[in-house]
Amino acid sequence: AQSVTQPDIHITVSEGASLELRCNYSYGATPYLFWYVQSPGQGLQLLLKYFSGDTLVQGIKGFEAEFKRSQSSFNLRKPSVHWSDAAEYFCAVGAGGRRALTFGSGTRLQVQP
Amino acid sequence: SAVISQKPSRDICQRGTSLTIQCQVDSQVTMMFWYRQQPGQSLTLIATANQGSEATYESGFVIDKFPISRPNLTFSTLTVSNMSPEDSSIYLCSVPGQGAMRQETQYFGPGTRLLVL
C-alpha cells in the first residue's frame, strides 16, 4: 500500500525567505506525485505534479518540486515566500489511472511579515 | 481543469439528522471520489462512485452511514446519515483529469464544511 509522510506539521518563515516543505512517499512502483495547497476556507488547488521525465517540476505560483527516487522524496520549494502563500500544503501519491490519491498529513505554513 | 461545484458550501446540523451533499461537474466523468477531512487532519478517501454501479467504500466507511448516488456522469451525492459530532468535517468530491489532461491528476471541489452539534 502506498503512503505519504510529511514530517513537518507546522513551518513559519519570514516573507521573502526561501521555503522547502518535505515529503517522503512509500510506493512499490513508479509513483505519481502531487502537491496541493489549501488556503483557509478553500478547497484543494493543484500546485504541481510529477509523472516521469525531468525530476525537477515547475508549478504555479512560483513553486517547484524535485523528485529524488533514491530518497523517496518529493520536496516542495519556493525561493521567496509571499504572505499570500500562508496555507496548508498536502503532498499526495497516486497509483496511476483514474484512481484516488493518498495524502500526507499536511504542513501548515505561516508567513511572518 | 474540470469545474466542480458542491452544495451546500457549509451547514450546521443537529445530531441524529442526515445531510445530503451534492457534487456537480461541468463535464462527463466516469469516476468520482468522495473524501473526508476531519478538523486539522488530512484527506481520507470515503468511497469511489462509478456511474451505473454501486459505490466502492474504503475500510472504515459503510454504505448505511454514507450512502452515495451517481445518477449520471456529471453528478453525485453523498449523504451523511444519523450524524454525530464526530462527523464534523469537510467533505470533498474529486474527479480525474479528462481529455488532454492526465487521468492520474485529481481535481477537487470547494468542499462542504459540516458542523454537527
Asked if pLDDT for residue B99 goes beyond 80, the answer is no
Look at strands A107-112 and A10-14 and give their pairing.
parallel
| Binary contact (B110, A32; C-beta < 8 A) | no
| Binary contact (B42, A106; C-beta < 8 A) | yes
CA–chain centroid gap for A53, Å, is 18
Asked if pLDDT for residue B85 goes beyond 90, the answer is yes
Q: Pick from B30, B105, B110: which is nearest to A43 by CB?
A: B110
Other Cβ atoms less than 10 A from the Cβ of A93: the count is 22
Residue B68's SS3 state is strand
pLDDT tens sequence across A58-101: 999 999 999 999 999 999 999 999 999 999 999 999 887 778 89
Section B42-52 average pLDDT: 91
The CA-to-CA distance between both ends of chain A, in Å, stands at 41
| Binary contact (A100, B111; C-beta < 8 A) | no
Q: How many CB pairs under 8 A join A and B?
A: 58
At B89 the pLDDT is 96
Q: Model confidence at B101, in pLDDT bands (50, 70, 90)?
A: low
Do B3 and B107 touch, CB atoms closer than 8 A? no
Which H helix or E strand runs over B109?
Answer: none
Section B81-88 average pLDDT: 97
At A72 the pLDDT is 93
Non-local CB neighbours of B4 within 8 Å, separated by 6+ positions: B23, B24, B25, B26, B93, B94, B95, B107, B108, B109, B110
Asked if pLDDT for residue B100 goes beyond 60, the answer is no
pLDDT tens sequence across A22-57: 999 998 777 899 999 999 888 899 999 998 888 999
- DSSP code of B65? T
Chain A residues in contact with B33 by the CB 8 A cut-off are 100
At B24 the pLDDT is 97
Q: Pick from A41, A49, A100: which is nearest to B45 by CB?
A: A100
- Smallest CA–CA distance from B38 into chain A, residue: A105
Do A93 and A1 touch, CB atoms closer than 8 A? no
Q: Which residues of chain A approach chain B closer than 8 Å at the C-beta?
A: 32, 34, 36, 41-46, 49, 51, 90, 92, 94, 96-106
Q: Pick from B104, B109, B111: which is nearest to A96 by CB?
A: B104
Percentage of chain A beyond pLDDT 90 is 79
Residue recorded with cell 464544511: B113
Residues paired with B6 in a beta bridge? B23
